[in-house]
Structure formats: structure tokens, C-alpha cells
Amino acid sequence: MIFTVGQLSITLATVLVLLLVIWHRPGWVVFTAISSAVLLDCFEMSTGGMDLGVNVYVDDAACLVLLFTGLLVLIRYRPGIPRDAMPCLFLLAVLALSFFRGLNIFGLKQAGNGVRSLFAFAVPALAIMLLRPVLRLDAGRLARLFGWAGSCFCAVALLRWAGALPMPIGLQDDLRVVVRSLNADNAIIVGQAFIAAIYILIAERRSDWWWWAGAGMFGAATLALQHRSVWVAVAAGAAWLAFRTVRLSPVRWLTLGAVAGIALGFIVIVDPTILPSVRDIVVSDVGEARGESSTWTWRVQGYTEATDRALAGKAVDILVGPPAGWSANTEGSFASIHIHSRYVETLAYYGFVGASALLIWFVVLIQRTRRRVHSPSKMKPLSRGSLALLQALLFSELVYLVPYFGGILQGAILGLLWIAATQEDFHQRGGCVAPAHVRVRFRADSAVEVSQ
């Protein structure tokens, strides 16, 4: 009996400490939860999960912590749910409807497993949007955050290539010149770190050598990781950043091009095998994409089958999707069930209503990052550069979600992009969304510092 009382006391004390930490430091709780889940996934330490009537994985637990933290912030500061978060919230409502429909038909386990993908994608974004009163983030801080995250993933990739860490089992194949050492969700962060490093060099006019080295490292690592979808997404984001900032700093772009050319020439002189190796990597991956048995062909076949099945269902299933758990009780192909596209998967699982909510959410994010484009007289060069970074990162994310469904990391990125965009925007309006007992200080570069 004493042992049971002791266990209960320890449990209650732990819960109390967690509640206090969440109440007073919600930002750190969100950062810790996301980082822990991403790192455990990266090192394949969370593949087992727990059977609690429904399979519960680390990402699920992290999302529950994020959602609870966001609700506590909403209760404490009472800012109201942001209007921009309504499409995301509506998407989760459609998810809940699908879950309860499937619960009555397929049971808790299959229904719960059926909604996991969208839950892990939408909840981090919603939770971070609810944390707006306590977060401090501008484009410069966001760029440095991507720099740190990209450096961590680059270190993991280098250690795996060097043999110090084991290669992920799911990424091992005989098709690559260089074995993939990171999955696509991690590799896109390295590519976006490349975009962030270019932004810091161009828009912030920084000449620190480590940002030059970082841009080269992130670019080379993105190529070596050999994810074609990541290449396309990063190229789209980088091209957009160049288009939006070339008039702000043409000399910087010329300098960047000259430095890149000189560095490439030096590398070729030191190691003449570099260019043939790069060519082999590109030719190998492009050749695979053009083959009849390529992963892209496999995905497109899955898209077609999933779309045809969704359009052939009952009227209610076409509108809001079939009941959650249907995927475990269908004879469809693997590619049409585990759909590698956030857009197609949402349509197949949550119907036209869910797909419309997803697209409206993305349109809201696009409009948020464009809101001050038509008032150039009120914008400083740094503000234009900041908007260009947010747009480039968002563009790369939206392109990336065409061949991948994304997860907790991609949802968190969308939430952080919204935070950075809205905080810069309310400096121009002169408004304040923080409660009266929170001190808000504005800086010249449109950053918002919030302290309690």
C-alpha cells in the first residue's frame, strides 16, 4: 500500500511540475516536444510505439503535448483563436468527424491509426499559432533557426556517411551513387537552411565567413542526399528568393555568384573527381525518375487509383471522406493507401471538404506573407527581404508537399512561418495582440519581443 501511495505521489508531482513548466514556459515545451520527436524519428528510436487500444507513437505523444500547451496559452492570455487558424481548426474538425464515424464501424485501433497522418501534420501548426502571444520570432531569427537545424541534420548525415552512425534501414538501396542518409522530411530542412543562408548573405548583408561556408555546405549536402523532390522544392524556393531580392542587392548576388564560381574552380583543381561524382549523382537519380519502375511512376499510379476510388464512393464519402479505418479494410494497392502527397491524401481520406480546408489554409498563409507587398512606401529593404524569405520557405514547403504528406516537422514549419509573418505585420499596423500584462517592445527591424 505504501508503494502504491509512493507511486501516486511521484506521478502527481511529475504532472504538477509539467503543468507549471507548460504554464510559465510554453515556448520551451513546444520546442522540446518537437525536437525530441524529430530526433527520435531521425535515429529510428520510436518505431515500436505503445498499444493503448490504439497504437501511440512518439509523434502522437508530442502532438498531444503541443495541443495541450496551445490550449493552456489560450486560457491564460485569452487572445482568442486567430482567424488565420480557422481553416486548420476546421481541418481537424473534419478529422474528428472521420474518426468518430470509423470508431463505430472499425473500432478504436483502426480508426485511430487512420487519422494519424493528418493529425501529426495539422496539430503542430495549430499549436504554434495559438502560442503567438508568447513567441518572439522574426525572419532573421527564423533563418538562424533553420541554420542550426540544417547543421544538426548535416552532422547526422556526415556521421552516417563516415560509418560512425548506422544507416537507416528504410533508406538502404542499391540505386544510389551515395547512400541516402536522411529521409526526405529531414533533407528538406537542409535545403531550406541553404535558402536561409542565402537570405542572410543577401538581404541582411552579412559577410561572416561561416555563413558563406554554411551556404556551401547546405547546398552540397542537399545534392548529396539525393532526394529529387527535395531538389525541386529547394530550387523553387531559392529561385523565388532570387526573384524577390535581386533588385534589393544586385551587387550581393554578383558577389555570391563570383564566390561560388571561384570555390567550384578551386575544388575542381584540388580534387578533379568532384565534377564526375556530381554528374553521376544527378544522372543516376534523373535516370531512375524516367524509368517505368521509378518511385514517381509508382506515386502517380497511387494518386490515380486513390482519386478514382474517392470519386466513386458515396456522396457523404465524396464530401467528407470515408470513415477512418477504411484503409485497413480495402484491397487497394499500397501506393493508393499510403499516399505520398499531402494534397491527394487529404482528398482521399477527407473528401472535398477536407481538401478545400487544406487549400484555404495554404492560401491564407500565402496571403499573410504577401500582405504588405502593395505598400512599398512603408517597407524598408530589410522588410522586403524578410517577406522574400518567408515566401521562399513557404513556396518550398508547398512544392515539397506535392510528393510527400509531411509530418510533425512540416506542420511546425508552417506554424513558425505564420508567426514570423504576423509579428512583422502588426508592427506596421501599430496594433498589439498581446495581453495588457505582457510587455511588447518593437525594434527597428520589425521584430517583436515579448516578455512576461
Within 10 angstroms of residue 367's Cβ, the number of other Cβ atoms is: 11
CA distance 207 to 215: 12
Three-state DSSP at 401 gives coil
Q: Which grid coordinates belong to 253?
A: 548576388
| pLDDT digit string (tens) for the chain, length 452 residues | 445 776 677 878 877 888 888 888 999 999 999 999 999 999 888 677 787 788 889 999 999 999 999 999 999 888 889 999 999 999 999 999 999 999 999 999 999 999 999 999 999 999 999 999 998 888 999 999 999 999 999 999 999 989 999 888 777 665 565 678 899 999 999 999 999 999 998 877 776 778 888 888 999 899 888 888 999 999 999 999 988 888 767 766 666 766 666 665 655 565 565 555 555 566 666 666 666 567 778 889 999 999 999 999 899 999 999 999 999 888 889 999 999 999 999 999 999 999 999 999 999 999 998 855 444 444 444 478 888 999 999 999 999 999 999 999 999 999 999 999 987 543 433 333 333 334 333 333 333 343 33
pTM of the full predicted structure? 0.85
Domain spans of the chain?
2-451
Indicate the DSSP class of residue 291.
S
**Secondary structure, 3-state, 55-84:** EECHHHHHHHHHHHHHHHHHHHHCCCCCHH
Return the closest-CA partner of residue 296 out of 227, 346, 342. 227
First to last CA, the chain: 43
User: Is there a contact between 194 and 238 (Cβ–Cβ < 8 Å)?
Assistant: yes
H or E element in which residue 196 lies: helix 184-202
CB-based burial label for 296 (10 Å; 0-12, 13-18, 19+): middle
- What is the residue whose three cell numbers read 480546408? 357
User: Is there a contact between 39 and 99 (Cβ–Cβ < 8 Å)?
Assistant: no
DSSP 359-393: HHHHHHHHHHHHTTTT-GGG--HHHHHHHHHHHHH
